[in-house]
Structure 1
Amino acid sequence: MLSKLLTLTLVAATLTATPAEPAYDVLVFSKTAGFRHDAIPAGIQAVRDLGAANDFTVTATEDAGAFTDLAGYEAVVFLNTTGDVLDDTQQAAFQSYVDGGGGYVGVHSAADTEYDWAYYGRLVGAYFKNHPAIQPATVRTEDRAHPATAHLGPAWTRTDEWYNYRANPRASVHVLQSLDEATYSGGDMGGDHPITWCHPQERGRAFYTGLGHTIESYADPAFRNVLLGGIRYAAGVAQADCRPENGYSALYDGSTAGWSQAGPGGFAEADATLTSQGGLGLLWYSAEELGSYSLKLDWRVTGDSNSGVFVGFPASDDPWSAVNNGYEVQIDATDAPDRTTGSIYGFQAADLAARDAALNPPGSWNTYELLVEGERLRVYLNGVLINDFTSTDPRRSLRQGHVGIQNHGDADVVSFRDIRVKRLSATVEGEACTAGGGVRVVRRASAGGGATLGRLDDGDWAGYERLSAQGATAFTARVRTTGVGGTVEVRAGTRAGPLLGTVAVPGRGGRERYRDVTTTLTGSASGPVHLVFKGRRGELFELDSFTLRYAR
């Protein structure tokens, strides 16, 4: 582990911005009306050094009059500002600048600034509350694709002054780093302690880090690269998905548990990153089928490499099954419009102008969001919608299926990180259970899929190994009510696992009468969904299908 951390530090020290970026201009503002940090001169020099190495010019000032004309700057850095530093006219000019497309970077006590200006509070994300003594702490990297944090490993131990904030900003910002409160004394945010974040602000971009109190911070190559990435994002020369992100669970975060390789080749794994090798194959998430969901993942290509993300395909150890039965969201720097990055391969090209504006070049990390709702698939690249596709192919459906990442060939090198999902809903045919006791499949022409799970008696059960109970908040079952009726228990993990909810099913509803019954689900249990059927003696009812809805 120590050798890994040393390697990461050396890598961080050599990072530079991607070549051939356009030159741009940055204003560093360090006016104070309260406590004044002795690190300000070191901070200004650090930004000047970064500018000289990365082709942006730096103007440093404590004259708030500069805010009346910010048109020449792509980003403004509030470097350890404190107190009320702008008058009403300057505030209005700065708000117009950011909302019109400008960039804001806040460093450390930028959160101890302009308490009476509500717009600034939204821009910085959170206000300073207090801090303990300067001490070491572990910083957890939550986003390893953003240009400010892509050079860091999952954990980073450093010494600084660690701010507590008046409110947790997570709901309205995209958290890049958080503090592990168990590794130091004085954290009071209840264990969820964001420390670096970003967010869009109208047409502009905002970035803040609570790091940067000490003079030593500004000589640290890893922290300098945090600043560089924040400036590049705020200036609009590096792209990132900075929309707030909540409710996702990891499919891959360094462990391939639940994943299966189909076909030759595969993925090498190092530093919680998967890198393709050999081909043509597919690493697919076999543990679960997904219905409506948001899938996010970070990817990076080397040169003109080829890969893709597949969705909506059935379980199979043949990689061509995903090609022939699902949809591929392409990753390829050069190809025909319907076969290049952001396209639904062979079906629909991306909006190429929007794609090109959102795309980071080969060698840099990008983030996809694939939003699947029914037969609709929307593709977001670094937070920008670049494709909106609806499936009309009768041989394919997005309503239920697996997801996977492609290893295309020996010469294609594509890396993936941080594959995560937010489940929105999933609809499953009752007879699609992967385990059960006492249940039978009954053919019914009137049923969805042509069959039900029928002849259910008291104590019968059905398990759905590829359907997760994690985050489920509601259960709706379509039932055929010809028996005596009963109840459905929704359990997690096993048929005797935690009870999430129970719903009653009325009896004797007519020969072909179907009805929906619904209940809310509570608890935080995980594992596959199991249904247990209870009731009096005799056939209870038939289960046609059911839908789980998940927390948004």
Structure 2
Amino acid sequence: MIRRALSFLATALATTLALAPAADASAAPADPSYKVLVFSKTDTFRHDSIPTAIQTIKDLGAANGFTVDVTEDDTVFTRTGLSPYKTVVFASTTGDVLNDAEQAAFEGYIRSGGGYVGIHAAADTEYSWPFYGELVGAYFKTHPAQQQAAVKVEDLVNPSTAHLPASWSRFDEWYAYRSNPRTTVHVLASLDETSYSAGSGAMGDHPITWCKNHQGGRSWYTGMGHTKDSYADPAFRKMLLGGIRYTAGAVNADCTPSGGGTGTVQAESFQTGQGVRPVTKEGADNGQTLGYLDPGDWVSYANLPVGGSTTFKARVVSGGAGGTIQIRDGSPTGPVLGSVAVPNTGGWTAFKDVSTTLKAVPSGRADVHLTFTGTGSSLFDVDDFAFSAPAPGPMLGLAGKCLDVSGAATTNGTQVQLSTCNGGYAQQWTRTPSGELRALGKCLDVFGGGIADGTKVELWDCNATGAQQWTPTPAGELRNPRSGKCLDVLGGGTTDGTKVLLWTCWGGANQRWSLPA
């Protein structure tokens, strides 16, 4: 009887499993219920994939516990109209879709912690509204014919891209942008321009999906999604779901900029701390500050991309004695990168920016700790803070030409050369406090750490070695301290594409360079 009962139960279980609906591949763990608004108004070109995009988001909502409202009525963009929604999806909107009052309401919504998702032509929207351009990250410029291309997935842990392979081949209409957003956004995926015909849309470094924190809110954008077939792709659907969940605050993610500096970090979003807690405060970005700060208290923020930063700025408020913020590397007692005094700002709702210069900042990413000193208790609150690096610019050499990365390629070993200045990203360089010269997210490098005359100078992953250190001399040379030799234009040539290399310093015109400010 026991054996027969077990057999019956096994058969019943197998039947139940066979009849159960298949799990939605794009479903995520259950979140607290929230509402999403999909906005699809168009003022110029209208994509025929918009209805498919809307239905996809509805399906994602049904499978993942959020409610979806859909509108093309811009009058919903008021403080009251937007208040029920955790995030707003701009589904291939185009042109001028909001009036001045509606724009102001949406700005307030974002600054109060609201979310924004932009799909495809959302970047072809509101060109005369600077806040929107900063929120989406970049404006549309052009596109070639629809075609297959290889997508390089740069962040394999973000909730919108963690499921993707490092190289993802797909068919779409591949947007190029009026500017490269890398320095202000966290790039999740970019295009391999060698894998398709970019034509006039070639950017070299070509981000296509990214996220960012913006003035208290969260933003996520993808240039994909032109075709109806995109929305049938489980991988694309799951990527879109991750963007919605991130901007709705259902899941956290690292959306600090990829190109140097951390962007704005909400101080109350610390990983660990001692003696501190968030405080709800009117006028604070995201509605909260980091408060109850007493002498000896501290907080930590993991894995911030601080490499190249020279300045720390914080938004603070104090109706008390004030005090000092110390920026430390690695631990509450780690090396001090900088200190900044916080005064009494005139009350607990009177916000003020304070800043300081930094020294000995680690390259790449670091665990940053803020420690607090002063006299008494409740010294001040910190609303948000940011690390920043010098703005990139051209490096001028022989005949007024620019130091250039061949083909704007980011492959390790790409030759660096002299070329006519064109304002492109392959000619934008930043010098870090540690002496690196960076372009396209990589470093000017002496091949193999060589010291012989004629050694190739190339682009390579930044690694803090002596092969990537460059010191300007009073004569205008760029000297590599490890070898004691200089950055040199081969044979004093001025033809576009002339290689630069390592050579004994001798004071010639082909070894003199003008660095970016």
**TM class, shorter-length:** 0.5 to 0.7
Q: Within 5 Å, which residues of 2 pair with 1:431-510?
A: 468-469=465-466, 472-474=469-471, 490-491=479-480
Which of 18, 31, 34 is the matching residue for 2:44? Answer: 34
Give CA-to-partner distance per residue, 1:150-186, whole Å, 9 cap, x none: 1112111100001111222222222211111111113
Which of 29, 44, 61 is the matching residue for 1:18? Answer: 29
1:133–1:524 Cα change, 3 Å: same
Please name the residue that 1:451 is paired with: none
Instruction: Indicate the SS of the match to 1:132.
Output: coil
Contact 1:470-1:524 within 8 A present in 2 as well = no
Please name the residue that 1:54 is paired with: 64
Deviation at 1:369, TM superposition (A): 2.2
Q: Within 5 Å, which residues of 2 pair with 1:409-448?
A: 425=433
Contact 1:350-1:387 within 8 A present in 2 as well = no
Contact 2:258-2:305 within 8 A present in 1 as well = no
Give CA-to-partner distance per residue, 1:489-521, whole Å, 9 cap, x none: 943775779679xxxxxxxxxxxxxxxxxxxxx
Tell me if 1:63 matches 2:60: no
Give CA-to-partner distance per residue, 1:11-46, whole Å, 9 cap, x none: x98353234x21111000111111111111111111
Q: Within 5 Å, which residues of 2 pair with 1:84-483?
A: 84-187=96-199, 188-247=201-260, 342=271, 349=274, 368-369=303-304, 389=328, 425=433, 468-469=465-466, 472-474=469-471
Give CA-to-partner distance per residue, 1:308-341, whole Å, 9 cap, x none: xxxxxxxxxxxxxxxxxxxxxxxxxxxxxxxxx9
Supply the distance in 1 between the matched residues of 2:90 and 2:68 (Cα, whole angstroms): 13
Contact 1:349-1:387 within 8 A present in 2 as well = no
Give CA-to-partner distance per residue, 1:390-426, whole Å, 9 cap, x none: 7999999997999999xxxxxxxxxxxxxxxx99555
Instruction: Indicate the SS of the match to 2:236.
Output: helix
Contact 2:37-2:68 within 8 A present in 1 as well = yes
Counterpart residue identity of residue 255, structure 2:
C
Give TM-score scaled by structure 1 length.
0.50
Instruction: Indicate the SS of the match to 2:82.
Output: coil
Deviation at 1:84, TM superposition (A): 1.5
1:30–1:497 Cα change, 3 Å: same
Counterpart residue identity of residue 369, structure 1:
L
Please name the residue that 1:511 is paired with: none
1:184–1:55 Cα change, 3 Å: same
1:241–1:392 Cα change, 3 Å: closer
Q: Which stretch of the first structure deviates more once superposed, 116-125 or 104-113?
A: 116-125
Instruction: Indicate the SS of the match to 1:137.
Output: strand
Report how many residues are paired.
Answer: 329
Contact 1:138-1:155 within 8 A present in 2 as well = yes
Supply the distance in 1 between the matched residues of 2:334 and 2:469 (Cα, whole angstroms): 29
Counterpart residue identity of residue 303, structure 2:
Y
Please name the residue that 1:277 is paired with: none
1:395–1:127 Cα change, 3 Å: closer
Give CA-to-partner distance per residue, 1:443-492, whole Å, 9 cap, x none: xxxxxxxxxxxxxxxxxxxxxxx96136535479xxxxxxxxxxx99437
1:395–1:211 Cα change, 3 Å: closer
Supply the distance in 2 between the matched residues of 1:234 and 1:392 (Cα, whole angstroms): 30
Supply the distance in 1 between the matched residues of 2:277 and 2:305 (Cα, whole angstroms): 17
Give the gaps of 5 or more residues in structure 2. 1-22, 263-269, 280-287, 289-300, 313-324, 338-359, 367-429, 436-448, 452-462, 490-498, 507-514
Give CA-to-partner distance per residue, 1:92-135, whole Å, 9 cap, x none: 11111112211111100111111222221221121112211110
Deviation at 1:145, TM superposition (A): 2.2
1:235–1:473 Cα change, 3 Å: farther
Contact 1:492-1:525 within 8 A present in 2 as well = no
Contact 2:306-2:364 within 8 A present in 1 as well = no
1:491–1:389 Cα change, 3 Å: closer
Contact 2:469-2:481 within 8 A present in 1 as well = no
Give CA-to-partner distance per residue, 1:354-404, whole Å, 9 cap, x none: 9xx9xxxxxxxx962275999xx9xxxxxxxx9955799999999799999
Contact 1:473-1:551 within 8 A present in 2 as well = no
Supply the distance in 2 between the matched residues of 1:404 and 1:29 (Cα, whole angstroms): 37
Counterpart residue identity of residue 31, structure 1:
K
Give the gaps of 5 or more residues in structure 1. 1-11, 249-293, 295-340, 358-365, 378-385, 406-421, 428-434, 438-465, 477-487, 501-522, 535-549
Supply the distance in 2 between the matched residues of 1:149 and 1:177 (Cα, whole angstroms): 8
1:239–1:394 Cα change, 3 Å: closer
Supply the distance in 1 between the matched residues of 2:332 and 2:113 (Cα, whole angstroms): 40
Counterpart residue identity of residue 67, structure 1:
F
Contact 2:152-2:191 within 8 A present in 1 as well = yes
Supply the distance in 1 between the matched residues of 2:144 and 2:363 (Cα, whole angstroms): 47
1:113–1:352 Cα change, 3 Å: same
1:395–1:213 Cα change, 3 Å: closer
Instruction: Indicate the SS of the match to 2:77.
Output: helix
Instruction: Indicate the SS of the match to 2:304.
Output: strand
Instruction: Indicate the SS of the match to 2:98.
Output: coil
Instruction: Indicate the SS of the match to 1:14.
Output: coil
Deviation at 1:66, TM superposition (A): 1.4
1:166–1:426 Cα change, 3 Å: closer
Deviation at 1:190, TM superposition (A): 3.2
Supply the distance in 1 between the matched residues of 2:165 and 2:431 (Cα, whole angstroms): 27
Counterpart residue identity of residue 45, structure 1:
Q
Supply the distance in 2 between the matched residues of 1:53 and 1:113 (Cα, whole angstroms): 30
Supply the distance in 1 between the matched residues of 2:150 and 2:466 (Cα, whole angstroms): 32
Supply the distance in 2 between the matched residues of 1:38 and 1:404 (Cα, whole angstroms): 42
Deviation at 1:533, TM superposition (A): 11
Counterpart residue identity of residue 193, structure 1:
H
Supply the distance in 1 between the matched residues of 2:277 and 2:123 (Cα, whole angstroms): 38
Root-mean-square deviation (Å): 4.8
1:181–1:403 Cα change, 3 Å: closer
Supply the distance in 2 between the matched residues of 1:209 and 1:78 (Cα, whole angstroms): 11
